[in-house]
Amino acid sequence: MVITKTKKIKGNNRIIFKVVENTKKIQIDLFENMQIDSIIWNKQKLDYKRGINAVFISFPSELNKETTQSIQFFYQGNPVVA
């Protein structure tokens, strides 16, 4: 969704990924000007930490190697003008 009055965007992405080694954390890149509303995996809200332009997402259980996973990533913010 584009909110023209405030020059803001709001939306979500479904991110599908293949696990290459067992892990309980993944990293997603997201510029600091974008705020995270929530991250959902298997109907569970996930914990995360910001690190400048990266998001470190923690899962409640280990993700097994060679599995395909999916998260729903909800965000909003003011994009940088080109």
pLDDT digits (tens, 9 = 90+) for 55-66: 999 999 999 999
Predicted TM-score (pTM) of this structure? 0.87
- In the predicted structure, residue 2 carries a pLDDT above the cut 90: no
Residue 30's nearest CA partner among 66, 64, 67, 77 is 77
Interatomic CA distance for residues 71 and 67, integer angstroms: 13
More confident residue, 67 or 52: 67
* Residue 50 pLDDT: 94
pLDDT confidence of 71, banded at 50, 70, 90? very high
Q: Which amino acid is at 33?
A: N
**How high is the pLDDT of residue 82?**
74
Percentage of the chain lying above the pLDDT 90 cut: 80
List the structure tokens of 10.
């709001």
